[in-house]
Structure 1
Amino acid sequence: MLKNFWYAIEFSHVVEHRPRKVTCLGQDFVIWRRRDGSVACLSDLCVHRGGALSLGTLVEDRVACPYHGWEYESDGTCVKIPANPPGRGIPKKARVDAYPIVEKYGLVWAYLGDLPEDKRPPIPHMAEHDDPSFRAVYWQTVVEANYERAMENVVDAAHTPFVHGTAFGNPDKPEIPDYEVTQGEWHAEADILLNPPAPKGLWGMLSPKRLDTVVVTNGWYLPNVVKLHIRLPFGDLIMYDHNIPISQGRTMVKLVGYRNFFTGKWADRNAVKRIQRIFEQDRVVVESQRPELLPFDLAAELHLRSDALQIAYRRRRQELIDDGWWLGGDDIVMGDVPRREATVIPSPARRDNPELARAWVHKTRGDSHEPARSAE
């Protein structure tokens, strides 16, 4: 799993003025919408005794721990300890990690890392969201598989005739012509020529013609977003899958689908139904893949020219691993409560306040004296 990126951790429309737990990169976070409409994000682990802040309440715009009532501002600093008598100060180390938040494309994005603002990778650009000719639908599901396996499945055009049959692919014409990958620092995409099946149902009735071939644009955007752009005879369907790593073997997929045809609300249910049907066909295969985790060695699995997008991803991934952006065993720590494990991802405050950078890190398993090493 990769740190130092913006992750879409929740749909904007479900975040309200109350604590809400979300999980990404193996770490629990608490998010809430403040009274001014902005969203706050903290580590969901009270520094005192490891209580889950998401089970607490809001006091004005502060989140209060359900265990001892400690209140935290949105920047992670504790401003109230109810057990303290009047006049007693609050320790500087009484704070939790706070993470920058941006709302964009109908999603809440959290920056999970500690790089300065000018060195952070960008949020992927999704032009369709602000285009009035497109209408969006939102859908989510949990996949019992590693997020990278889920990602590669979407950009893998060669599986469509076999996993999806005549619903999306064409078993009679499974060939994938060679294609060129266009790659930048944080993304890669390719236009791939496929042989589509005849559209059925509502789409089939309204389709003006049958196409022998169709250009589909597949792409990935670091760290966990994949794009599928299908050019239908009657319009464009563009889907962005946000593959959120709950853990190494579990993924929350938040999918946003855009279409510039049948843009009335009446067609939303049909669009979601089609997306869900295709996804469920993929689920069976992805959840059964072995090894469960993507190999680190590019030569560990056999690759063909039709796998060019996956190869580009794996090579870029290795570069980031070499740069220290990979979350490993040192990032798993344990709180003061027995067996309370958590992942600690460094926040910008650790870099901004060097004297406090290690102050509020929980103890490692089996070590009650030395602070855990943060995921630097």
Structure 2
Amino acid sequence: MLKNFWYALEFGHAVERRPRKVRCLGQDFVLWRRRDGQVAVLSDLCVHRGGALSMGTLAGEDRIACPYHGWEYEPDGTCVKIPANPPGRGIPKKARVDAYPSVERYGLVWAFLGDLPEERRPPMPHFPEHDDPAFRAVYWETTVEANYERTMENVVDAAHTPFVHGTAFGNPDRPEIPDFEVTQDEWQAEADILLSPPPPKGLWGLLRSGVRPEHVVVTNGWYLPNIVKLHVRLPFGDLILYDHNIPLTQGRTQVKIVGYRNFFTGRWADGNALKRIGRIFEQDRPVVESQRPELLPFDLSAELHIRSDALQVAYRRRREQLIKDGWWVGGDDVVTGDVPRRQATVIPSPARRENPELARAWVHKTRGTGAESEEEQP
């Protein structure tokens, strides 16, 4: 799993004033919509006794109160109230939780999960269809019992379509993939791939006119860290899917898809579009969930690659470089609790880098190590 990237955590329409729990990179977060409409993103862990802030309530203007002892935190993670303290007693400087930069874009709430300063953060991807009035969007999600890199690579793998999807998306009689060129920079890659199409069926078949084309141009691409683009140029319009593969844990992925189409753009056709997305995805599910090894190998030579795997190879090579650069979620991001083999991920936030003297505020030690600290006075 890769840190120091913008991750889409939730659909914007699902985030309201009430605190909402989400998970990414093995860590729990709490989201809520502030009065100004912006979304706050904090680690879902009260620094006092580990209460889940997502089970709490909002206090004052935009503070969140822990359900256990009522500690109140501002959207920047700073604790501003400890109800048990008598009047005049201050609040420890280390009474704070990780807060992550957030933005709402393309119908999704994004958070930067890492501690890089703003000028060093990778850019967010650009989805031009979202603001194009010619397109209509639908939102679909599911959870997969597989590693997010396996689900991600599956979408850019054009060669599987005739076999996994049959005549629903591919053409078993014409499985060949002509050679294609990958266009890439340090944060994304894409390629125009020629596929032999199946005959259109159902509602979409009504738009078919003329002779069935020999090939359909499909643009496949990936955006770091976990997004896949699938752009199918149909004879009657464009279908573009942005597939967000959110790593809940190493072996479990939440997939959130935003799908755009510039045909049948009325709300009445949304159900049909969602049904098609779901049907295609459910054909992929059993194959992806059965892949071995479960995790993507670190060694590029551990699996055999051919020319039609060029997009996956490009991803793995870039991933290899980022791992060398220290962007892989590793031992420094994992804390161990007082139950054997019980671990949790804690991704460092920008405040840790900005306030190095408070860095230990987020470190949770195991019992019996002699590292327990006494109450710190301000």
Which residue type is aligned with residue 144 of structure 1? E
How far residue 67 of structure 1 moved from its aligned partner, in angstroms, is 0.7
Aligned to 1:325: 327
1:83 match: secondary structure: coil
Q: Deviations over 1:72-110 (max 9, x none)?
A: 000000000011001100000000000000110000000
- State the secondary structure of the residue aligned to 1:330: helix
**Structure 2 length-normalised TM:** 0.96
Q: Percent identity?
A: 82
Q: Do the aligned partners of 1:143 and 1:251 also contact (CA within 8 Å) in 2?
A: yes
**Change in CA separation of 1:341 and 1:68 when aligned onto 2, cut-off 3 Å:** farther
Q: CA deviation at 1:358?
A: 2.0
CA contact 2:33–2:40 (8 Å) conserved in 1: yes
Q: How many residues align?
A: 371
2:190, 2:77 → 1: CA distance?
A: 38
RMSD: 1.5
Query: 2:193 aligns to what?
Result: 192
Deviation at 1:364, TM superposition (A): 4.7
Q: Does 1:267 align with 2:269?
A: yes
TM-superposed deviation, 1:340? 6.5
Cα displacement string for residues 190-235 of structure 1 (whole angstroms, at most 9, x for unaligned residues):
0000000000001112212322211000000000000000000100
Superposed CA deviations along residues 334-357 of structure 1, whole A, max 9, x for unmatched, are 457998742110000001111112
Alignment-derived partner of residue 125 in structure 2:
124
> Does the alignment pair 1:28 with 2:34?
no
Q: 1:287 aligns with which of 274, 284, 289?
A: 289
Which is further off, 353-362 or 78-87? 353-362
Change (3 A) 1:337 1:52: farther
Task: Identify the residue that residue 111 of structure 2 maps to in structure 1.
Answer: 110
1:360 Cα deviation after fit: 2.6
Judge conservation of contact 2:45–2:51 (CA < 8 Å) in 1. Answer: yes
Contact 2:113 2:349 in 1 (8 A): yes
Contact 2:338 2:367 in 1 (8 A): no
The separation in 2 between residues aligned to 1:21 and 1:7, in whole angstroms, is 15
Partner of 1:374: none
Q: Is the 1:238–1:258 contact (alpha carbons within 8 Å) kept by the matching residues of 2? A: yes
Measure the CA separation in 2 of the matches of 1:72 and 1:298: 45
- CA–CA distance in 1 between the matches of 2:37 and 2:338? 34
Structure 2, unaligned runs of 5 or more: 374-378
Match for 2:229 among 227, 230, 248? Answer: 227
Mapped partners of 1:144, 1:104: distance in 2:
27
Indicate how the Cα distance of structure 1 residues 310 and 317 shifts in structure 2: closer, same or farther if over 3 A, else same: same
Q: 1:114 and 1:272 mapped to 2: Cα distance?
A: 37
Q: Does the CA-based 8 Å contact 2:144-2:285 persist in structure 1? A: yes
1:1-376 to 2 correspondences below 5 Å: 1-60=1-60, 61-209=62-210, 210-334=212-336, 341-364=343-366, 367-369=369-371
| Pairwise CA distance, 1:363 | 1.5
- Secondary structure of the residue aligned to 2:360 is coil
Distance (Å, rounded) in 1 between the aligned partners of 2:370 and 2:256: 39
Task: Output one character per residue of 1:246-280: Cα deviation in whole Å (capped at 9) or x when no partner.
Answer: 00000000000000000000000000000000000
Task: Flag structure 1 segments of 5+ consecutive residues without an equivalent.
Answer: 372-376
CA distance in 2, matches of 1:368, 1:330: 20
Amino acid at match of 1:190: A
Counterpart residue identity of residue 165, structure 2:
H
Q: Secondary structure at the residue paired with 1:133?
A: coil
Deviations 1:20-59, CA, capped at 9 Å, x for gaps: 0000000000010011111000000110011110011111
The alpha carbon displacement at 1:330 in A equals 3.4
Partner of 2:376: none
Contact between 2:170 and 2:197, CA under 8 Å: does it hold in 1?
Answer: yes
Separation in structure 1 between the aligned mates of residue 370 and residue 25 of structure 2, nearest angstrom: 25
Secondary structure class of the residue paired with 1:98: coil
Amino acid at match of 1:270: N
CA distance in 2, matches of 1:367, 1:266: 61
Q: Give me the whole-angstrom Cα distance separating, in 2, the residues matched to 1:325 and 1:152.
A: 19
The amino acid across from 1:205 in the alignment is L
